Amino acid sequence: MASATDSRYGQKESSDQNFDYMFKILIIGNSSVGKTSFLFRYADDSFTPAFVSTVGIDFKVKTIYRNDKRIKLQIWDTAGQERYRTITTAYYRGAMGFILMYDITNEESFNAVQDWSTQIKTYSWDNAQVLLVGNKCDMEDERVVSSERGRQLADHLGFEFFEASAKDNINVKQTFERLVDVICEKMSESLDTADPAVTGAKQDPTFF
Amino acid sequence: MSCSGGPPPAALSTSGPVLLAGRLEEVPLEVLRQRESKWLDMLNNWDKWMAKKHKKLPTILKQAGPAQHWQRGWARELLVWTHGHSRPFDFQIRLRCQKGIPPSLRGRAWQYLSGGKVKLQQNPGKFDELDMSPGDPKWLDVIERDLHRQFPFHEMFVSRGGHGALCASCAHTHPSFPEQELDMSPGDPKWLDVIERDLHRQFPFHEMFVSRGGHGQQDLFRVLKAYTLYRPEEGYCQAQAPIAAVLLMHMPAEQAFWCLVQICEKYLPGYYSEKLEAIQLDGEILFSLLQKVSPVAHKHLSRQKIDPLLYMTEWFMCAFARTLPWSSVLRVWDMFFCEGVKIIFRVGLVLLKHALGSPDKLKACQGQYETIERLRSLSPKIMQEAFLVQEVVELPVTERQIEREHLIQLRRWQETRGELQCRSPPRLHGAKAILEAEPGPRPALQPSPSIRLPPDAPLPVSKAKAKPPKQVQKEQRKPSKASGQPDQPLTPNQAAVVTAAGDACPPQDVPSEDPAPQDLTSQDSAHHHSRESLTSQESEDTYL
C-alpha cells in the first residue's frame, strides 16, 4: 500500500496517463471466503489473519506490465454478505473481469457459486470474464470441496479455474495475470472498434 | 475493511482520566475526578435529570434533601435554571457528553442515554430467554465466522512501530480475544501470547479491570444471536458486530444487547435491514449537507462521481468504530448516545471538510483513486480527539436540517426508484427523544451501580461499613457549599475520596440505591475466578 498512499504516486498517476489500459476487476463470493486477504496478498504482498469483515465496498489499484502493455488494474473488494448486494451490484457495471471466490473448506460458499454467477450475468456486461477461485487451499486438512468438483463447476459455467491460497501465496498472482490475459484476448477479439470501456481514459464513465 | 480501517482501541480506553490528562487533553486530574463524581451523581438521579416537565424540578430540588447528595454545582445550576430558565437539564447532559463521559461510568451512561436500561427493565428475562434459544442456523453460521473479525487490531499495532502496550491493553478490554476463545480464533498465537503476558501489567492500580476474564467472542455471539431471535425479520447484518463489540467492552452481554436494540431501532433504524436502503438514503443526505458545509469538497466529489456509499458505508454503519482512533471513537459515541445520528453526520462532514475542503488539499487528489485513498487513510490530525470533538460540536448541522434533507432525498428516491421496500420506524434524535417516545409512565430506573472492589480490598457490604466515607464526603462538601464556589477543585484529600467513589465503590450507592443488595463477597470472588461471561447482576460501572 506504500506506493498508493504516497502522494507522489498520486501525482504521477493523475498527471500522466501512465498506462495503456485500465481494467476494472471485482472480487465476489460469500462472506469470509478470503476476498480481502486475496486482494491484499496481490496488491501489497501481505497476509494477516486479522482482517475485519468488509462493510460495503473498497478498492485497490495496481499497475502491471503484461504483453508489453502497462495495465492499470482497479480491483474492487466487496462485502460478501447477501445484504450488501444492493450496494455492491451497482459496481458490477463496467467490470471487465470477475474473480468469483469460494472457500474450499466451506461447502456453502461453493454452493453459492451458481448464484454469484447469475448475479454477474444480471448486473454486468456480456463480455465480462470470470475466473472461479477456490481459496484457502493451504487448509488441506479441512477441505470439503475437492479440486475436481471445483473444476467441473467451472467447466459447467464456462469459467477458468484456480485453487489458491492468499495465506501461503499460492496462485494469487497467477490468478490475476490469467484474468488479465483472458480480458486482453477477449479485447483483441472484439476490438478494432476501440471499445471506450477498455481505454485508459481518466474520466472513464464506466468507472462507477 | 482494510488494515488501515481497523480501529486501534488504544490504551486510552482503559487508562481512565490519569492517562488522558497526561497525554491528550491536559485536563487537570482534579477536574476529571470532579467530572466523574458529577456523572455518578447524575446517573444515580437519572430520572430527575431527564424529567420531561421542567416545572416539577423545583419540587425535586426540595425533595432532594441531604440524602440525595446533589452536587453543589448542579444544585446551583438547578436554581439558575428554575429562576432564570437559562439552562435546561438536557442541555447540561449534552454538555457533559460533549466533554466526554468518564471511562469508569461510560457503560452505565450509554445504557441510560440510549434507553437500553429502560428496555432491560421492561423486559426482564427476555435476553436470557433469547440466549437459551437455539437460533436460526442461517444466521449463526455467518455470525460465527465474524466473531474474530471485528477488531483484529493487534497485528496492526505491533507491526506499525511496536506499540505493544496498546496492543495488550486493547486485548485486555477487547472481547474478541479472550484467552478461553483462542481455539475459536484463527489469530496468530504469537500475538495473543504477547497480549496475555501484558494483561496484568497495564493498570495495576485498577485491579478490578485485570481479573475480568472469559467474556468476549462468546458474548459477542450471544448478543448477535439474541438479536436475530429478537428481530427474526431483520436477522444479522455484518456491521452490527463491531457495534456490539464496542458495547461489550463497556457492559455485560444483556445490557449490550438492549443497547444494540436501541441503536438498531431508535438511533439508526433500517441501517442493518435487508436492502440497506436507510444507509443509501443517508449517503445522499450526507452528500447534500456537504454542499453547505464544504462546497469545495462537495464539488470535488461530484466532479469525480464518487458515490457517497464508497466512503460513508463503513463510517456510518459502524458509527466510526473502525475509522477513528479509539479515544475519538469513545468521545463520538458519548455524543452520539446523547444527541443521536446528527453526531454521525457531523463527524462525516468534518472529516470530508478537512480531508478535501481546500484547493490545496485537492492537489494530491486528482484522480478518483487518490481521493478515495485520502478518505480511507485520513490524516491523524483531523481524527484527533480534541480537534474532532470541537469541530463536531461547532458544526451547525441540526436535526431539523437532517430531517428536511431526509424528506427531500426520500422524495427523490421514490421518484427514481419507487417506494422503499423496508419501512423503518422514524429515527429518534438522541436520549431525550427516545425517552419522550416511551409510551406511558414507566417505573423509575433502578440503578445498580455497585462498582466492585478487588477481592483483597475491604468490601463495603454493610451499611455500617459504607457510612464512614459517605459522611466524610458529606462533610467535605459542606464547606464548599457554604463558600459558594462549587466549581473549585477539591483538595487532594477530597479528590481521593471522590475517586474512590468513582473507581471503586461509590459509598452512597450501596445502602440506598441498590434495589437488590447482594452478597458482594461471594459474588465477587465468584466472578474474579470465573471464566464465564458476566451477568447483568454485576456492576454496571467500570466495565472495562
The CA distance from A77 to the nearest CA of chain B, in Å, is 9
Nearest by CB to A52, from B150, B276, B317: name it: B150
Which residues in B lie closer than 8 A to residue A61 (C-beta atoms)? 369
Task: Establish if A12 touches chain B: CB-CB under 8 angstroms.
Answer: no
Q: How many residues does chain A have?
A: 208
CATH number at residue A147: 3.40.50.300
Which residues in A lie closer than 8 A to residue B367 (C-beta atoms)? 10, 13-14, 202
The radius of gyration computed from the CA coordinates of chain A, to the nearest angstrom, equals 16
Q: Which residue of A has its CA nearest to B239?
A: A55
A102 DSSP β-pair partners: A134
pLDDT of residue B89 exceeding 80: no
Percent over 90 (pLDDT), chain B: 40
B86: Cβ contacts below 8 Å, ≥ 6 apart:
B80
**B127-137 average pLDDT score:** 89
- Residue B102 has phi, psi (to 5 degrees) of -55, 135
User: Is A149 within a domain?
Assistant: yes
Q: How confident is the model at residue B492 (pLDDT cuts 50, 70, 90)?
A: very low
Cα(A150)–Cα(B18) distance, integer angstroms: 57
Number of separate domains in chain A: 1
Is A50–B152 a contact, with Cβ atoms under 8 angstroms apart? yes
Of the candidates B205, B210, B124, the residue with the CA atom closest to the CA atom of residue B171:
B210
Which residues in B lie closer than 8 A to residue A53 (C-beta atoms)? 146, 149-150, 238, 241
Range of lowest pLDDT (A145-149, B160-164, B395-399, B459-463): B160-164
Is B5–A52 a contact, with Cβ atoms under 8 angstroms apart? yes
Domain enclosing residue A76, as ranges: 21-189
Task: Establish if A51 touches chain B: CB-CB under 8 angstroms.
Answer: yes
| pTM, two decimal places | 0.73
Task: Establish if B420 touches chain A: CB-CB under 8 angstroms.
Answer: no
The pLDDT of residue B301 is 97
The pLDDT of residue A77 is 95
* CATH fold label, B103-153+208-274: Helicase, Ruva Protein; domain 3 (1.10.8)
Is A50–B307 a contact, with Cβ atoms under 8 angstroms apart? no
Which residues in B lie closer than 8 A to residue A108 (C-beta atoms)? 141
pLDDT of residue B434 exceeding 80: yes
pLDDT of residue B221 exceeding 90: no
HEC readout, A9-30: HHHHHHHCCCCCEEEEEEEEEC
Of the candidates B95, B40, B72, the residue with the CA atom closest to the CA atom of residue B503:
B40
User: Is A182 within a domain?
Assistant: yes
- pLDDT (tens digit, 9 = 90+) per residue, B321-341? 989 999 999 999 999 999 999
Nearest by CB to A55, from B238, B305, B306: name it: B238
> Is the domain covering B277-420 a CATH 2.60.40.650 domain?
no
DSSP category for residue B438? S
Spans of all domains in chain B: 103-153+208-274, 277-420
Is B369–A1 a contact, with Cβ atoms under 8 angstroms apart? no
| ipTM (interface predicted TM) | 0.84
Measuring CA to CA, how many Å separate B386 from each of A201, B170, B393, B469?
42, 21, 11, 35
Is A10–B187 a contact, with Cβ atoms under 8 angstroms apart? no
Q: Which residue of B has its CA nearest to A202?
A: B367
Cα(A191)–Cα(A199) distance, integer angstroms: 11
Percent over 70 (pLDDT), chain B: 57
Nearest by CB to A4, from B149, B156, B373: name it: B373
The CA distance from A44 to the nearest CA of chain B, in Å, is 11
User: Is A150 within a domain?
Assistant: yes
DSSP category for residue A200? -
User: Is A122 within a domain?
Assistant: yes
The CA distance from B220 to the nearest CA of chain A, in Å, is 15
Q: Are B273 and B335 in contact (CB under 8 A)?
A: no
The pLDDT of residue B25 is 52
| Cβ contacts from A onto B, under 8 A | 131
The pLDDT of residue B182 is 27
User: Is A134 within a domain?
Assistant: yes
